C-alpha cells in the first residue's frame, strides 16, 4: 500500500461486506490483517490526514507496515502547533457520507497498538458531533511494544458536545497525534469492539 501525506486520502476496503451482527458477539473486529492484507468490517475504511485540511502545517504519512512481526497500519509525522494547527490522524469510517454503526451492544473499544512511548488520543464521532472539533476523547500512551488497550464507552469525555456518548450512532474512530510539538509514530494492528 502507498503512503498518505497532507490532504490526500487513502481508504482501504476489503471488497466484501460483512453483515452486522443482530446481537453482540464477544468481540467485533473492525480492522485487522490476514495474510498480510487489510481486512475491514463491512464497508468501512481508513483515511489519514493532518491539520493541513484547516491551514496547519503538520505532516502525516499513513502506510501499511510490519512491526515486531505484526502487519499493521502506521501513522508517522511531525505534529506542530504552528499556523493554528496541531494534529495528524488515522481515522476509521463505517462507510461513506458519515454512515453510522450501532455499537450499543458492546462495552467499548479495543486496540492493539505499538508506539514510541508518546501520548496519543482516540476520538470518537457520533451523530451528536457537528463542528469538526466536537468528539468524545480518550488519551493513552503507546508503548514501544505491542499492547492491547480496552477503553469502555464511559471513559470517553465529550469535547464541545453537551450530551453523553451515544454508541448507537458511532460514525468515526480516529487515533491522533494531538496538540503538542512532537514526532508521532503509532501503529495499529487491530481495532475492535468488545462486550
Give tens-digit pLDDT for 142-192. 999 999 999 999 999 999 999 999 999 999 999 999 999 999 999 999 999
Asked if residue 17 belongs to a domain, the reply is: no
What pLDDT, in 10s, does the model give residues 93-130?
998 877 999 999 999 999 999 999 999 999 999 999 99
Asked if residue 134 belongs to a domain, the reply is: yes
Return the higher-pLDDT residue of 11 and 132: 132
**Which of these, 53, 48, 150, 165, lies nearest to 103 by C-alpha position?**
165
Q: What pLDDT is attached to residue 142?
A: 98
Residue pair 137/121 in contact by the 8 Å Cβ criterion? yes
What pLDDT, in 10s, does the model give residues 14-26?
333 343 443 556 9
Asked if residue 20 belongs to a domain, the reply is: no
Res. 12: pLDDT tops 80: no
What pLDDT, in 10s, does the model give residues 34-70?
988 999 997 889 999 999 988 999 999 999 999 999 9
Q: What pLDDT is attached to residue 20?
A: 43
The CATH number that applies at residue 47 is 2.60.120.430
Asked if residue 123 belongs to a domain, the reply is: yes
Asked if residue 71 belongs to a domain, the reply is: yes
Asked if residue 145 belongs to a domain, the reply is: yes
**Which of these, 100, 162, 86, 169, lies nearest to 131 by C-alpha position?**
162
Q: What pLDDT is attached to residue 146?
A: 98
Q: Give the count of domains, the chain.
A: 1
At 131, the pLDDT band (50, 70, 90 cuts) reads confident
Asked if residue 7 belongs to a domain, the reply is: no
pTM score of the predicted model: 0.87
User: CA-based Rg of the chain, rounded to a whole angstrom?
Assistant: 16
Q: What pLDDT is attached to residue 24?
A: 52
Asked if residue 21 belongs to a domain, the reply is: no
Determine the structural domain holding residue 102 and report its residue range: 27-194
Amino acid at each position: 500500500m502507498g503512503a498518505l501525506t497532507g490532504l490526500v486520502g487513502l481508504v482501504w476496503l476489503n471488497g466484501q461486506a460483512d453483515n452486522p451482527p443482530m446481537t453482540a458477539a464477544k468481540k467485533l473486529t473492525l480492522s485487522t490483517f490476514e495474510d498480510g492484507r487489510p481486512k475491514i468490517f463491512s464497508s468501512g475504511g481508513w483515511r489519514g490526514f493532518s491539520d493541513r485540511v484547516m491551514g496547519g502545517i503538520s505532516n502525516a504519512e499513513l502506510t501499511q507496515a510490519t512491526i515486531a512481526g505484526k502487519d499493521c497500519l502506521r501513522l508517522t509525522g511531525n505534529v506542530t502547533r504552528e499556523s493554528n494547527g496541531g494534529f495528524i490522524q488515522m481515522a476509521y469510517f463505517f462507510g461513506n457520507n458519515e454512515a453510522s454503526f450501532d455499537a450499543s451492544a458492546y462495552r467499548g473499544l479495543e486496540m492493539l497498538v505499538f508506539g514510541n512511548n508518546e501520548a496519543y488520543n482516540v476520538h470518537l464521532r457520533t451523530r451528536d458531533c457537528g463542528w469538526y472539533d466536537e468528539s468524545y476523547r480518550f488519551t493513552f500512551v503507546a508503548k514501544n511494544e505491542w499492547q492491547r488497550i480496552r477503553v469502555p464507552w464511559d471513559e470517553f469525555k465529550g469535547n464541545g458536545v453537551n450530551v453523553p456518548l451515544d454508541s448507537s450512532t458511532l460514525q468515526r474512530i480516529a487515533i491522533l497525534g494531538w496538540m503538542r510539538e512532537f514526532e508521532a509514530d503509532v501503529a495499529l494492528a487491530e481495532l475492535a469492539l468488545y462486550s
